[in-house]
Amino acid sequence: MIARRWHGRVRADKADEYLRLMREVGLADYCGTQGNLGAWCLHRQDNGIVHVEMFTLWEDEAAIRRFAGDDLLAAKYYDFDPQFLIELEPEVVHFDVIEAQRPG
């Protein structure tokens, strides 16, 4: 399993609309991709800026490629992103995942 994390920054006055789009478009896109095991949109406000983190889990690299294309580290952006994001960060971060076993 692979975790993928993307980070973006939005001005607080644009955050509600951006988070709505991420809920309706972004999360639907992630979860609609074969091999996606889950997707979460994390956000926090700090001094008038809202930091948005998309945290997703994937079966393997092939699943990530189905979502993002051949360059595994390249960030995937939507048509609306330039209207909201302060900067288009070029890359994401991947992590190998050790799964916890729940008791019982």
DSSP 50-92: EEEEEEEEESSHHHHHHHH-S-TTBPP--TTHHHHBS----B-
With a pLDDT cut of 90, the percent of the chain lying above it is 93
Is the pLDDT at 51 greater than 90, yes or no?
yes
**pTM of the predicted protein model:** 0.90
pLDDT score at 102 = 73
- Asked if pLDDT for residue 25 goes beyond 90, the answer is yes
Residue 99 predicted with pLDDT over 90? no
Q: Whole-angstrom distance between the N-terminal and C-terminal Cα of the chain?
A: 22
Inform me whether the pLDDT recorded for 45 exceeds 80.
yes
Sequence ranges of the domains in the chain:
2-96
Domain 2-96 falls in which CATH fold? Answer: Alpha-Beta Plaits (3.30.70)
Both tokens assigned to 92: 């994401």
